[in-house]
Amino acid sequence: MAAGDSSAHWTLDRRVPVALILSIVLQSAGLFMWVGALTSRVSELETKAVRAIDAGDRVISLEAEMREVRRILQRIEAKLEQRPTKEALRSAPSRPF
């Protein structure tokens, strides 16, 4: 490289206004803050999605349990319907032992 080569190192020209540098710095800071807030919102939504999946699994489990309870209740009702009524027991002749 030649000693007079202007591309040897980076320099800031005095013609660049301070306001431009400040605006670029402030915009960059704003961008980083926005990205940070966006990351926070995304992680919150991921947490909510996981909770929703867990809730869905619990609902499915509860539905299966309710089906089992209904099946048991139907069996109980069927057995109760097969039992003789009180009137039928009163009118039936007593059996000797």
One DSSP character per residue, 70-81 reads: HHHHHHHHHHHH
Q: Half-sphere exposure of residue 54, counting CA atoms within 13 Å on the CB side?
A: 6
Structure-token pair, residue 11: 């320099």
Residue with tokens 């206004």: 17
**92 three-class SS:** coil
Q: What is the mean pLDDT of the chain?
A: 86
pLDDT tens for residues 16-26?
Answer: 888 999 999 99
pTM for this entry:
0.46
